[in-house]
Structures are given as C-alpha cells and as structure tokens.
C-alpha cells in the first residue's frame, strides 16, 4: 500500500521539498519518535544494527527518527542537514535469505552519514552492496523478510531508490513521486548497481539490451500482475497534484488521513489511514510524518501515535523530542510511560464507538490550522519557543481527551468482525476500555 509521498523543490510553489509518510505496521507495534545527537569523533569501530554488525564511522549527523520500538533503525526520519528519508517494504525475486541490513537500518544509516540526499543515496547503496539486506522485518516473525524502496529528499533535490537484494536502481525526481509496494522503475533510471544488466541476463530475467527494465526483471511476478498497487499509486499522484498550493502542509496532513468510509470499520483500497481488521487487512497505520524542507528552514510534524485520522500532528525538532528516551524498555504491550500506548487507549475507545466524536475532530482541525499559521510567522529563537509551547499544548489537549473518552462504553455491536478483532487485540495488548 502506498504510504510515502514527495513533492520536489523544482515543482513546489515555494521551492521547498514536501514529504509525507504513514508507517503501516502490525497493530499493537509501538512506535517511537526519538532524537539522536550528532557525533564528532566516535572511537567505536563496530556498530550493531538490527540483525548484523557493521563498521562504524566517527562522524555522524544528528537525526530525528520515527521507529518501531524494537528496531535499531527507523521507517522515516530527517537529519540536521535537512535530508529526509522514508522507506517502503517491497517484494522482489532477488531477496536474500541470510541476515543483513533491513530497510529501517538503511534509513537511519543514510541519515546519520549523508549530508545531502545524493550523499545519503551513496551511503545506502554502498552499504547495500557490501552487506545485503535480509532478516526479519516484523517483530516476532523471522519468516517475514523483504527488500526496500526509498524516497530521499533535501532542499535541492529528490531521489527515488528501489532495491532487489544487493542490486538497485535510482531516479532523480523532478516533479512528484509516491513509493509503491512493488518495483516501478523501468529503464529510465539515472543510476544503478554495478553490472546490473549482466546480472539480470545471467539470471535469465532480461534479454540483451543496454538498460535492463528494473521492475520487469527484479519484481515479484505475482505483484507485477496485480492492478491494485498501480491503481493506488496513480490515485495518490492525482491527489498530490490537486493539493492547494496555498496550504500544502495542512493538506498533506489530511491526505495522510484519507479514508473513504465514515467509520474505520469500513475499508477501501483508496484509504491512506489503515485500520487492521484481521485477515482482510493485517496492517495498521502506526505513525505519520509530514516535513517541509527549504534552504532556510525545516519543519517536521509527527503524530507519535497511530491512526492519523484520529491523531493530532505535533511540531518536533532535533532539540524537541516528543517524550523521554525509552530505549531498552519492553513496549510489546501497554506501557504507561509511552505516549504511543497512552494514546492508543484513546484511539481504540474512539473507533470502537458506534460513531466518531465530531467535537474531537473539530477541535483537532482548528488546533492544527492555528499551529501552522503561528509557526509560519515565527523565526529564530521565537520559532524554537513557539514549537515547544505548541507541542506542550497539543500533548495536554490529547491527554484531556484521553480522560474523557477512555471511559466510553458506546461500543459497536459485538457481532461485528471489526469489533471482535479489536477486542481480541485489546486483550493481547493489555488494554482495558
């Protein structure tokens, strides 16, 4: 399912890069928004990533990272130089079974070691060809492995990178792009891995031609025949093109919330905000981020919580994390110290009610509009103070609604499959409503 969107500086109305992403993972998979300080002279020579150990570098940039609690890397993030990266899991015919780096590891490594989008591209592809990619991408399920695609953006340019095993192809994006859950690059890529064409020919995936068709050669054939991925990608590109140029940030927030039905129990292939419901849909949108990056300024808005259509986006910066560092804490079940888990109680009380609370949604929209206007008018020290004050106010607003809705007993009919699924999930996650 498409979840990562970008508008390049060359095609945006103000020359800034705009990035938006939903992280879709298993229900109950807690996400963290963490800040990792810059490092100037690290004497450590080895680095333990999620599954393997690689060589460490002495100099690293400060990073803002949105990550699964159990994973070393992250699904989305930005660094102090204004590089933003988001990754997507994809299925290919060249995936390796041995442990290697996984997509979230490559996102963090690209941010820590790349001062521009192009440099981060070089970092990721070099590590990919050296260490490969492999190992479990889902908590508690070692059988689930995947390859990755990425969008890398900075104030000057955007790159789309797709990978298959240790091979890859990359294209500079001049307009808009969305990541797909399958390979999309044909022969129009600008860079590729060493001996890509010869490798594809050796495997019998490509005829003798100057440029191999990357998607046709390396894509998983069952996914290439599916029309849903292509339809959703085209649908989201059309939505991007129709956004109001005068209010791009606010419209991107709402694009990540897109859901066709009036209630989360109704699903559609056009949804951006996903709700798990069992076998018919196993993934849940577990966190969201919108970024605007220009040469003079960087703004990042993250929910830090699941369900973007029921969450409020909050300003976050490298010196302004959402919560205390919970590294090393087991967050596989409800934990009161976790913002994500505290708000999960609120969200589940809301979407297990017969109808959504319209007053909550109205207040949320008004707060976000005010936030964007207020921050746009600030700069320098006043901007830092405004971010801190607004973030604190929004966190307190969320907490007040948690107190009001956590005691709600207006549940959907117990025979509804959506309700049954989430009641089982609540028991599994230690949540009592």
Name 65's bridge partners: 34, 77
304 with 369, same domain: the answer is no
Beta bridge partners of 18: 7, 292
* Predicted pLDDT at 226: 63
Q: Residue 354 has what pLDDT?
A: 81
Sequence-separated (6 or more) residues with CB below 8 Å from residue 374: 386, 390
Q: Coil, strand, or helix at residue 315?
A: strand
Residues 162, 255: one domain? Answer: yes
Question: What three-state secondary structure class fits 301?
Answer: strand
Question: Is 229 in the same domain as 261?
Answer: yes
Ranges under pLDDT 50 in the chain: none
Q: Provide the CATH number for the domain around residue 200.
A: 3.60.60.10
Same domain, 359 and 294: no
Tell me what pLDDT residue 131 has. 96
Q: Tell whether 53 and 176 lie within a shared domain.
A: yes
Q: What is the pLDDT of residue 65?
A: 97
Q: Please check whether residue 332 lies inside any domain of the structure.
A: no
Q: Is the pTM of this model over 0.85?
A: yes
How many folded domains does the chain comprise? 2
CB half-sphere exposure, 137, CA atoms < 13 A: 25
What is the pLDDT at residue 176? 96
Identify whether 297 is part of a domain: yes
Q: Cα(69)–Cα(34) distance, rounded to whole angstroms? A: 10
Tell me if 416 is assigned to some domain: yes
For residue 86, what pLDDT is reported? Answer: 97
Q: What pLDDT digit, counting tens, does each position of 236-251 carry?
A: 999 999 999 999 999 9
In-domain check, residue 331: no
pLDDT for 311: 96
- Domain span at residue 245 reads 4-326
Domain boundary among 281, 310, 326: 326
DSSP secondary structure string, 70-90?
Answer: T-SS-SEEEETTS-EEEEEEE
What is the pLDDT, as a whole number, of residue 26? 92
In a shared domain, residues 75 and 211: yes
Domain limit, last residue, from 294, 326, 358: 326
Start-to-end C-alpha separation, the chain: 30
State the helix-helix crossing angle for 117-131 and 103-113, rounded to 10 degrees: 130
CB 140 within 8 A of CB 149: no
The closest of 224, 153, 212 to 183, measured between CA atoms, is 224
Where is the domain boundary, 293, 326, 359?
A: 326
């Amino acid at each position: 399912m498409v979840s990562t969107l970008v508008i390049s500086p060359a095609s945006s109305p103000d020359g800034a890069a705009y990035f938006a992403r939903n992280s879709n993972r298993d229900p109950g998979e807690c996400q963290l928004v963490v800040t990792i300080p810059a490092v100037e002279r690290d004497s450590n020579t080895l680095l333990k990533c999620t599954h393997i150990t690689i060589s460490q570098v002495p100099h690293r940039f400060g990073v803002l990272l949105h990550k699964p609690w159990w994973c070393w890397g992250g699904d989305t993030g930005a660094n102090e130089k204004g590089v933003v990266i988001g990754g997507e899991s994809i299925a290919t015919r060249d995936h390796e079974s041995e442990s290697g780096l996984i997509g979230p590891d490559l996102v963090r490594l690209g941010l820590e070691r790349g001062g521009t989008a192009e440099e981060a591209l070089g970092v990721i592809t070099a590590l990919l060809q050296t260490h490969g990619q492999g190992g479990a991408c889902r908590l508690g399920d070692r059988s689930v492995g995947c390859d990755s695609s990425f969008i890398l953006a900075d104030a000057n340019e955007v790159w789309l990178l797709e990978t298959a095993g240790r091979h890859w192809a990359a294209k500079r994006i001049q307009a808009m792009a969305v990541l797909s859950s399958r390979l999309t690059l044909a022969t129009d890529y600008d860079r590729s891995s060493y001996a890509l064409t010869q490798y594809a020919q050796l495997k019998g995936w490509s005829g003798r031609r100057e440029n191999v068709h990357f998607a046709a050669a390396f894509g998983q054939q069952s996914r290439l025949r599916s029309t849903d991925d292509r339809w959703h990608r085209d649908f989201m590109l059309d939505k991007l093109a129709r956004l109001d140029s005068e209010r791009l940030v606010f419209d991107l927030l709402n694009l990540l919330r897109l859901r066709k039905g009036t209630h989360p129990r109704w699903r559609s292939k056009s949804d951006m905000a996903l709700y798990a419901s069992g076998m018919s849909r196993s993934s849940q949108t577990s966190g969201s981020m919108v970024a605007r990056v220009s040469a003079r300024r960087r703004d990042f808005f993250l929910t830090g919580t699941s369900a973007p259509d029921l969450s409020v986006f909050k300003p976050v910066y490298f010196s302004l994390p959402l919560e205390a560092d919970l590294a090393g804490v087991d967050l596989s079940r409800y934990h009161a110290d976790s913002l994500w888990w505290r708000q999960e109680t609120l969200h589940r009380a809301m979407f297990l009610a017969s109808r959504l609370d319209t007053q909550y949604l109205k207040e949320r929209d008004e707060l976000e509009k005010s936030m964007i206007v207020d921050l746009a008018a600030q700069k320098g020290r006043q901007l830092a103070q405004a971010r801190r004050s607004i973030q604190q106010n929004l966190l307190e607003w969320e907490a007040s609604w948690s107190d009001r809705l956590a005691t709600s007993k207006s549940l959907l009919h117990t025979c509804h499959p959506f309700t049954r699924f989430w009641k089982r999930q609540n028991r599994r996650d230690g949540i009592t409503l």
